[in-house]
Amino acid sequence: MASHFQLLAKDAATGARRGRLSTLHGNVETPIFMPVGTQGTVKALTPVHLKEIGAQIILGNTYHLNLRPTSELIRDMGGLHKFMGWDGPILTDSGGFQVFSLSKLREIGDHGVSFQSHLDGAKLFLGPKEVMGIQRNLGSDIAMVIDECPPWPVERDACALACERSLRWAKRCKEIATESGFLAEGHHVFAIAQGSTFDDMRRQAAEELTALDFSGYAVGGVSVGEPEPEMLKQVAATTPFLPEHKPRYTMGLGTPPQILKMIALGVDMFDCVLPSRVARNGLAFTPDGAINLRNERFKADPAPIVEGLDNYTCRNFSRAYLRHLFMSGEMLGGTLVTIHNLHFFLDLVAQARAHIEAGDFGTWHRGWVARYEAGQ
């Protein structure tokens, strides 16, 4: 059987890779940025927008979707793709991050995590069996294992415990996905390597998970409050110990420069709420850094967010108009800037792919980052 991940090119000067990941709902050209659609919607956008800006794969979330409307309902409605009107690939997060972000509402045990619903306080439980069952109901193309994402900073002992539990849960997720036929049907299951800032634990997690032969590997527990150099160090401490012929994914990252720096470290996939969340708060990305469209200086600015960028927002609307929408509290502002921001990220990784193929990714990405950071 042909591999589901093909390496098409490798950059000579950096660790950057150009690849192609095949899924039940089509191919994904890597490196790729994946817009986040936690609750079965990339907030403020329709699938038509997503197609137009070049989205190839989006995210959904096990925890949120199972809470509401429940994975059984989505299964009965024909699966998540049909339910939300998106026919491209979907990666679903396991809810492992909610173990971290909703930490006040949960209790971690050896078999899984007891949660209190953030919606109504109801008790629920997520373990390997639960998250794999939910993701099967959703019809996920790429299911993530459930993991424990330790906070930053964390004691070595606590981190070791989280790694140990995450490994055990990953193993169990793989077994369940195999027994249920989920893998045989062509769905993928990705593992998540933890280890916080401890290089030896990062390496150990990567090697142990590699031995279990997953479809892909994620670096987890990054960008949970640590400074950027520390974050990049954690990624660099993990990727060398992941198999070359499997896709690599840093979860929850990052800013445009961070994405380029991680592509150089050999990462293939990214997801981040940053572009979509900040868009709804009036922040727009440009090659010279991000700008806050609510600022008075844009009151009468006739220019688009980025001159010449080929997306609906930049083709049609001035900064002055977008500022007006935000100052007036009009919802269209969030939609138009989300279109721009996500297109900006997708265009960035498209450029990265082209430069890896052309063989000049190293110099190109350094120049891009320098210009962006100079503008900030």
Binders in 147-206 for RNA, by CB under 7 A: 147, 149, 192
Which of 24, 273, 309, 369 touches RNA (CB under 7 A)?
273
What are the backbone dihedrals phi and psi of residue 11, each rounded to the nearest 5 degrees, phi first? -75, 140
Residue closer to RNA (CB basis): 10 or 280: 280
Residue 258 in the binding site for RNA (CB under 7 A): yes
Catalytic one of 11, 141, 147, 271: 271
CA 46 to chain centre: 19
Choices 238-246, 290-298, 300-308, 350-358 (CB under 7 A): range interacting with RNA? 290-298
Least distance (Å) between residue 296 CB and RNA = 4
Site string for RNA, 346-365 (x = CB under 7 A): --------------------
Choices 99-107, 173-181, 195-203, 349-357 (CB under 7 A): range interacting with RNA? 99-107
Sheet with 113-116: list strands edge to edge.
106-108, 113-116, 123-126
Catalytic residue list contains 271: yes
Beta bridge partners of 114: 107, 125
Residue closer to RNA (CB basis): 9 or 369: 369
Catalytic residue list contains 268: no
Structure-block tokens of residue 69: 């409307």
d(CA 131, CA 136): 8
Residue 238 in the binding site for RNA (CB under 7 A): no
DSSP per-residue letters across 327-362: HTT-HHHHHHHHHHHHHHHHHHHHHHHHHHHHT-HH
Angle at 169 between CA 163 and CA 170, to 5 degrees: 85
Choices 5-13, 14-22, 77-85, 275-283 (CB under 7 A): range interacting with RNA? 275-283
Residue 138 in the binding site for RNA (CB under 7 A): no
- b/e map 153-172, b = 16+ CB within 10 Å: ebeeeebbebbbbbbebbbb
Residue closer to RNA (CB basis): 192 or 349: 192
Residue 329 in the binding site for RNA (CB under 7 A): yes
Structure-block tokens of residue 198: 């401890």
Q: How many residues bind RNA (CB under 7 A)?
A: 56
Angle between helices 156-179 and 199-211 (to 10 degrees): 10
3-state DSSP assignment of residue 36: strand
Residue 341 in the binding site for RNA (CB under 7 A): no
d(CA 99, CA 251): 14
Catalytic one of 11, 93, 141, 147: 93
Residue 210 in the binding site for RNA (CB under 7 A): no
Residue 302 in the binding site for RNA (CB under 7 A): no
Structure-block tokens of residue 61: 């979330």
Structure-block tokens of residue 195: 């280890």
Catalytic residue numbers, as ranges: 93, 271
Q: Which residues bind RNA (CB under 7 A)?
A: 36, 38-39, 42-43, 59, 61, 64, 93-94, 96-98, 100-102, 104-105, 118, 144, 147, 149, 192, 218, 220-221, 223-224, 228, 251-255, 258, 271-274, 276-278, 280-283, 292, 294-297, 299, 327, 329, 331, 334
